[in-house]
């Protein structure tokens, strides 16, 4: 099995998360996912203020809806328990691109790093397979 070849415990070997850790993960999830849905809706709708902000950081306004769709696909993978780790990896790449863009343009980038940390923290608290990789 793939999980065994990667040194991961199979689903039967994973201990259940403690209630406090599970709820911490759920709270982190509740902080990140609604924000992402709001951000995705803004990117896809691409109102004038979003188009202006994209111009300010050197992005063509026509690219913004495409980024919104990519963001939606990554978030969808994150929300499905079986593909949550893949979604987190892809979201990390998405946020890495955001950080790079902000560094190049000299604008604040800490929020993108914070979002990636919150996504992984939530997954760490909710999924013992991720915890076993770190521990």
pLDDT band at residue 133 using 50, 70 and 90 as cut-offs: confident
- Has residue 6 been placed in a domain? no
- Has residue 5 been placed in a domain? no
- Has residue 2 been placed in a domain? no
- Has residue 28 been placed in a domain? yes
Q: How many domains does the chain have?
A: 1
Using H for helix, E for strand and C for coil, what is the string for the chain?
A: CHHHHCCCCCCCCCCCCCHHHHHHHHHHHHHHHHHHHHHHHHHHHCCHHHHHHHHHCCCCHHHHHHHHHHHHHHHHHHHCHHHHHHHHHHHHHHHHHHHHHHHHHCCCCHHHHHHHHHHHHHHHHHCHHHHHHHC
- Has residue 63 been placed in a domain? yes
- Has residue 9 been placed in a domain? no
- Has residue 103 been placed in a domain? yes
pTM: 0.82
pLDDT band at residue 17 using 50, 70 and 90 as cut-offs: low
- Has residue 37 been placed in a domain? yes
> Which residue range forms the structural domain that includes residue 113?
18-134
């Amino acid at each position: 099995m793939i999980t065994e070849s990667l040194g991961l415990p199979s689903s039967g070997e994973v201990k259940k998360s403690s209630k406090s850790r599970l709820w911490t993960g759920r709270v982190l999830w509740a902080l990140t996912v609604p924000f992402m849905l709001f951000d995705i809706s803004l990117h896809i709708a691409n109102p004038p203020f979003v188009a202006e902000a994209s111009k300010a950081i050197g992005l063509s306004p026509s690219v913004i809806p495409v980024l919104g769709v990519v963001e939606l696909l990554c978030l969808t993978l994150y929300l499905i328990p079986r593909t949550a780790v893949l979604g987190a990896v892809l979201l990390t790449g998405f946020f890495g691109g955001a950080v790079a863009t902000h560094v190049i343009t000299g604008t604040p980038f800490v929020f993108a790093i914070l979002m990636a940390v919150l996504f992984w923290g939530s997954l760490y608290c909710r999924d013992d397979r991720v915890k076993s990789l770190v521990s």
